[in-house]
Amino acid sequence: MDLQLKGKTALVIASSQGLGKAIAEKLIIEGANVMITSRNEEKLRTVQQELSELNGGFIAYKTCDVANKEQIADLVNETVEKFGTIDLLVNNTGGPAPGSFEETTDEEWQEAFEVSLLSYIRVTREVLPYLKKNGGKIVNIASSSVKEPIPGLILSNTFRTGITGLTKTLAAEFADYGILVNTVAPGRIATDRVAYLDEQNAKKQGITKAAVEKKFQKIIPLGRYGEPEEFANYVVFLLSGANSYVTGQTLLVDGGLVKSI
């Protein structure tokens, strides 16, 4: 299937590792030009070198702290200067710190809001004028917590759910421009973030990380954690020309983990 991504320009936030990197790689392979970004220039440089060896589109990078609106504006401007426009946007961030309601401070609430939700709003606002010209696509990365809250992740449960409301509203407000907006919610995907959460769970329960993984594998119908590449395949389809009628949706990639309908 031709995904009609050759020559398109994608901005992928938080793409120096994990899900963001996997999405950037798939886009490059499909012929898109990709701007990757994170706060860590060394990691970005390494990813750029790695993905530049693929037979596909061009890749560039720029550091950006998505809690800083001036840096977001600079990122979008440099992407346009480099590639001429922006057709596709992937909003993504590392997950907020784990914790219960009573453990979480005002400062942690504020930081999680700025990084996990306000950054999506700010990046979208900056990119929107370019998407409106040609009917671009946005995918907002959230978490399976938007369908089933995860114990010990009060910040993620709160702000990731806000992403779904943002997605639904944007899809309706900008449908006349041909802009499609969707949320994709990962379950237990084998990333550094999930490994960290498993380690924290292991410490609390007094068991090994491997034992925590085994517990989760038992309740995932497919019996395993997903791979970043599997998640990326789904996101790239939603960004592609093959998707012409899916918008305003929140879609799970979780191996069947979430039991709700």
Q: What angle do CA 157, 233, 214 make, to 5 degrees?
A: 55
Whether residues 65 and 150 share a domain: the answer is yes
259 falls within a domain: no
Whether residues 201 and 152 share a domain: the answer is no
Confidence of residue 110 (pLDDT cuts 50, 70, 90): very high
**Does the pLDDT value for residue 2 go beyond 90?**
no
73 falls within a domain: yes
The predicted pLDDT at position 238 comes to 98
Comparing CA positions, the residue from 144, 240, 235, 246 lying closest to residue 189 is 144
261 falls within a domain: no
Whether residues 200 and 235 share a domain: the answer is no
Whether residues 86 and 128 share a domain: the answer is yes
Q: What is the pTM of this model?
A: 0.95
Strands 9-12 and 59-61, how do they pair? Answer: unpaired
**Does the pLDDT value for residue 210 go beyond 90?**
yes
Do residues 105 and 204 lie in contact, with contact meaning Cβ atoms separated by under 8 Å? no
Whether residues 144 and 249 share a domain: the answer is yes
Whether residues 211 and 127 share a domain: the answer is no
- Report how far residue 185's alpha carbon sits from residue 260's, in angstroms, rounded to the nearest whole number: 14
Whether residues 83 and 162 share a domain: the answer is yes
Q: How many CA atoms lie less than 13 Å away from 137 in the CB half-sphere?
A: 23
142 falls within a domain: yes
55 falls within a domain: yes
86 falls within a domain: yes
Q: Could you give the residue ranges of the DSSP H alpha helices within the chain?
A: 18-29, 41-52, 69-83, 106-113, 119-134, 154-173, 192-205, 209-219, 228-239
- Report how far residue 9's alpha carbon sits from residue 59's, in angstroms, rounded to the nearest whole number: 10
3-state secondary structure of 221: coil
Q: What is the mean pLDDT of residues 35-48?
A: 97
Domain that holds residue 210: 190-225
Joined tokens for residue 84? 């001429």
* Residue 50 identity: E
Domain count, the chain: 2
**Does the pLDDT value for residue 61 go beyond 90?**
yes
**Does the pLDDT value for residue 123 go beyond 90?**
yes
Q: What is the mean pLDDT of residues 85-114?
A: 95
Whether residues 108 and 208 share a domain: the answer is no
Whether residues 129 and 244 share a domain: the answer is yes
**Does the pLDDT value for residue 100 go beyond 90?**
yes
Whether residues 99 and 180 share a domain: the answer is yes
User: CB burial class (10 A; 0-12, 13-18, 19+) of residue 102?
Assistant: exposed
Whether residues 109 and 41 share a domain: the answer is yes
Whether residues 197 and 247 share a domain: the answer is no
Comparing CA positions, the residue from 191, 192, 241, 187 lying closest to residue 27 is 241
The predicted pLDDT at position 95 comes to 86
Per-residue pLDDT tens for 63-96?
Answer: 999 999 999 999 999 999 999 999 999 999 988 9
- Report how far residue 110's alpha carbon sits from residue 243's, in angstroms, rounded to the nearest whole number: 35
Per-residue pLDDT tens for 193-206?
Answer: 899 889 988 998 99
Per-residue pLDDT tens for 136-189?
Answer: 999 999 999 999 999 999 999 999 999 999 999 999 999 999 999 999 999 999
154 falls within a domain: yes
2 falls within a domain: no
The predicted pLDDT at position 185 comes to 97
The predicted pLDDT at position 166 comes to 98
Confidence of residue 261 (pLDDT cuts 50, 70, 90): confident
